Amino acid sequence: MATQSLLQDAAFHQNENGGLYTRDGSVDINGNPVLKSETGNWRACPFILGNECCERLAFYGIALNLVTYLTKKLHEGNVSAARNVTTWQGTCYLTPLIGAVLADAYWGRYRTIATFSIIYFMVNISASFYTKYLTYWL
């Protein structure tokens, strides 16, 4: 029994000090430890950088013209339009905290990014539809 415990301790320290598996606690989709040779290597980097670039372009493109759009097309008052814009900006800056909790505790970073990218895409499609077709009738 003591020999088995010593062997398990030695295997644990070998894996911890540069063995075959990652040391950051990451697991694959089945919950097994991830092999170092099968992870990393910047495979997801182009997707993440492209997603962030598009997100920033969309945010600043909308933010610059949103007060004008709300006052001219939707006929809101200046105070109401400014309040809506600052609420929208505050929401945009606070929602990454929700994503961080979900990524760290539940889904993992790549699944969280993919899920919220799909949600972001669907919201933008519906907003684009609203802007193009429904404001025509206002």
Whole-prediction pTM? 0.53
Which letter does DSSP use for residue 105 in this model?
Answer: I
120 burial class (0-12, 13-18, 19+ CB within 10 angstroms)? middle
pLDDT tens-place string over residues 42-62? 777 888 899 889 888 988 888
Alpha carbon distance 82, 99 (integer Å) = 26
Q: Say yes or no to pLDDT of 98 above 80.
A: yes
Mean pLDDT in residue range 20-26 = 79
